[in-house]
A and B are shown apart, each in its own frame.
Chain A
Amino acid sequence: MASEAIRLDGVEKSFGAVRALAGVDLTVAAGECLGLVGHNGAGKSTLMHVLSGNLTPSAGTLAIAGKPYDRQWTAAAAQAEGVRCVFQELSLCPNLTVAENVRIVHRPLKGLGWKGRARALIRQKLDEIFPNHGISPDDEIADLAIGQRQMAEIARAFTVTDGKLRLVILDEPTSSLDAVSAQQLLAYVKRETARGAAVILISHLLGEILSTADRIVVMKDGKTVADRKASGFTRNSLVAAMGSEAREHKRGAARMAGAEVMVSAQPRSGGTAALEARKGEIVGLTGLAGHGQTRMLLQIYEHRQASMKGALAFIAGDRQSDGVFNLWSIGRNITTRSLAALRKGGLIDLAAEARLAGEWKQRMAIRTPDVNNNILTLSGGNQQKALFARALASDAAIILMDDPMRGVDIGTKQEVYAMIRAEAEKGRTFVWYTTEIEELTHCDRAYVFRDGAIAASLGVDELTEEKMLQASFAEHTA
């Protein structure tokens, strides 16, 4: 086996009563791509924050290249030792240019001509990883599309000034990338590891992990529970190791043809094809990420060039910026969308509010002892369930979903899929933007978006990856 890049022994970390890491041993060899999987709340994020020096563990030791690191392991120390991390929520400064953001992680970039060197560094790396990226080093981050921001941050993590690149941690790096860029990145990871750097890849897309990683570590409840060569896993055995069984979904037959049309809308961003969703239907929006799907949902939400019968509710995918109210309890977060209906004599009926929150905590199986706890006491997946509860508890007949399963663990997903299906059968209409092709199997129909327009409409029998990709890339489609 190749030499050690970094090693953790017996690392523990607690937040109050919650034990996020319960004694983790982890070794990453130089030149290795290590896949890391586990449910939300399994401890992956905490572990990455420890590795990158942003969290000090309660116990345990860390060794660099086989030698114990005896000083304080801080973010600055991690930088100096060539450990980089691309976090799930991006770490770029939106008010700075791409080149200026490179300067932030590279202390040697100073003195006369630093900007020129920074530009050259990032341009070369972007070209290497993502040919045709379309990003200029002088673009301000705020002006870039979300996918381009992710590219810039990933490329930045792989740039080198002084010292060597020891380990790059990629936490859900493809979450905002389209399929092509994602493939480019995964191919680059293989090239980079061949040159001797180590990469830890965290992804909920098990296909990515299985195809890219040399070795896979599975985490559960703050511990590593499996550690094998990637070839020793299959998709099913991986899911089994994480502790939830993969259930096959049975889709009902398409039966909506005669039902009432609840939503009809024509994308303002292009094309002549219009979208329609009928009562009780689950309509998927797909295509490459960032091709107008979210804009379509917002357009419907704002009633712009769209007509609908019934009230709307919106389920955000970006929980932090679009969904959760941080200061409020789980209960209040759930009832926000139903406040008007909870009024009695002009005032909100607190007892009815508590009943509603309690009922939906049950129905969505939100894992908390008390809905009066703050929303942030929940894991990410459970926060997302609360957002689902907010929409489903409301009087909305039409539910718009903006890629709501981003970074949600498989167990939670399965529960929510079943819930969506049940609600659709009761007559609710769902318009569901998803970046995960697998989720299309839960839809009755799907629209493929390209360049802001509807490029194709896929019926129930056509919801395959192949058809979707064809429509996403083809030049001319009906």
Chain B
Amino acid sequence: MRAKLLRQPWVYSFGAALAVWLATIAYTHGQGAGAILTAALSFATFTIIVGLGQMMVITTGPGNVDLSIPATITLSGAVAMKVMDEDTGRMAIGIVAALGAATLVGIFNYGLIRILRIPPIIATLSSSFLVLSAAISYGRGIRIKPPEPLAQFAEAQVLGIPIMAIAVLALSVAMAVVLSRTVYGRSVLAVGQNSRAAWLAGLNVGRTRFLTYVLSAFLAGVCGILLSGFSRGAALNMGEEFLLASIATVVIGGTSVAGGRANVPGIWGAALFMYLLVTMLNTFGASAGIRLILTGLMIIGVIVAAGGEEQR
């Protein structure tokens, strides 16, 4: 039983998160232990939302990664804020517009990959340039506040647990079910292991990839809306940190970079770990340089400890 648990890759990410949290509260002699966790849950949810999308993309096989997530977050935030225009009555249309824009990015990404046969890294990178320019041009200079209900939803808590975290937990469970119990989910895993074999086994490879890139962009859109609610407005650099964060959480969480193996719980552990790590270093009063170095070494350390892929 114990051996089986230790073989689960997500155990490492939760272990690391726990260790970092304990180190922090040991330093503060237990002060703010709960508050740190609450904050971690709040901030981690954004990473988890995009992490789930990135996980699906990475699982569809080597070379698949979505680098347009930050730009999509920014675009979605800008569109949502501008369409809502601080008017609660326009919230629904704002959400639809933002998610619509994000979905279009996903369709465009897949179009580049499929029709122009551009490697996904370069395709999503190039499209992110275009998307970012669109976001800059569209939402330039204006700082619009989110409608109050949106801001409240993003900040609400029940017993110290953010409502958003609960919603994202539900989303994560749904994603786990999708992966193991739907034809789409199985197709993602099969395509990731061997796309030719998946095609010959009667699975629809093209549709699977298409849905995956659209899903990733859609989730980035969701993240953009919630993030602008949480931070009371969209900003042109609001997506920046999520490029590294989305990839790092997926991989630290035990999803295989070679494709075909996804891990939903690991994303939670990894996202909490990454946030708590920064909190710990801030608590210790480390300088910016030290903080960066330790963050980097920890990421490397976790991936080394969790071990690499099995030889295939």
Contact = CB atoms under 8 A, between A and B. Distances in A.
Interface of A: 301, 312-314, 316, 321-328, 332, 336-337, 339-340, 343, 346-348, 350, 390, 394
A422 B149 CA distance: 66
B260 interface: yes
22 contacts: A301-B200, A313-B202, A322-B194, A322-B197, A323-B200, A325-B189, A325-B190, A325-B193, A325-B198, A326-B312, A327-B193, A328-B189, A328-B193, A336-B201, A337-B202, A339-B183, A339-B186, A339-B203, A346-B182, A348-B182, A348-B186, A350-B181
B177 interface: yes
Contacts of B181: 347-348, 350
A348 B194 CA distance: 21
Interface string B195-209: 011101111000000
A289 B180 CA distance: 40
B261 interface: yes
Contacts of A332: 186
B198 to A, nearest CB: 8
Given A325-B193, A327-B193, A336 B203 contact: yes
Nearest to A311: B202
B181 to A, nearest CB: 4
Given A347-B181, A350-B181, A336 B196 contact: no
Given A337-B201, A350-B181, 19 more contacts: A314-B201, A321-B194, A322-B196, A323-B200, A324-B197, A325-B193, A325-B198, A326-B193, A327-B193, A327-B261, A332-B186, A336-B198, A337-B202, A339-B183, A339-B186, A339-B203, A347-B177, A348-B181, A394-B202
Most chain-B Cβ atoms within 10 A of its Cβ — which of A312, A324, A347?
A347
Interface in B137-193: 177, 180-183, 186, 189-190, 193
A336 B186 contact: yes
A314 B261 CA distance: 24
B182 A347 contact: yes
Contacts of B190: 325, 328, 336
B261 A340 contact: no
Most chain-B Cβ atoms within 10 A of its Cβ — which of A313, A323, A336?
A336
Contacts of A328: 189-190, 193
A406 B176 CA distance: 38
A327 B183 contact: no
B201 A390 contact: yes
Contacts of B312: 326
Interface in B91-144: none
Contacts of B203: 336, 339
A41 B200 CA distance: 27
A322 B200 contact: yes
A433 B182 CA distance: 33
Given A339-B183, A347-B182, A325 B260 contact: yes
Contacts of A313: 202
Nearest to B259: A327
Nearest to B202: A337
A157 to B, nearest CB: 25
A332 B256 CA distance: 18
A215 to B, nearest CB: 36
Contact of A316 (B183, B189, B200, B256): B200
Nearest to B191: A325
A21 to B, nearest CB: 21
A328 B256 CA distance: 13
B310 to A, nearest CB: 9
A28 B200 CA distance: 43
B186 to A, nearest CB: 6
Contact of A325 (B194, B202, B256): B194
A343 B197 contact: no
A169 B281 CA distance: 59
Give 4 closest A-B pairs by Cβ, nearest first. Answer: A347-B181, A314-B200, A336-B201, A325-B193
Nearest to B312: A326
Most chain-A Cβ atoms within 10 A of its Cβ — which of B201, B202, B203, B312?
B201
A451 to B, nearest CB: 25
A323 B203 CA distance: 12
A321 B196 contact: yes
Contacts of B197: 316, 321-325
A337 B183 CA distance: 10
Contacts of A348: 180-183, 186
Nearest to B200: A314
Contacts of A301: 200
B194 A326 contact: yes
Nearest to B260: A327
Contacts of A323: 197, 200
B229 to A, nearest CB: 31
Contacts of B182: 346-348
A336 B202 CA distance: 8
B204 to A, nearest CB: 10
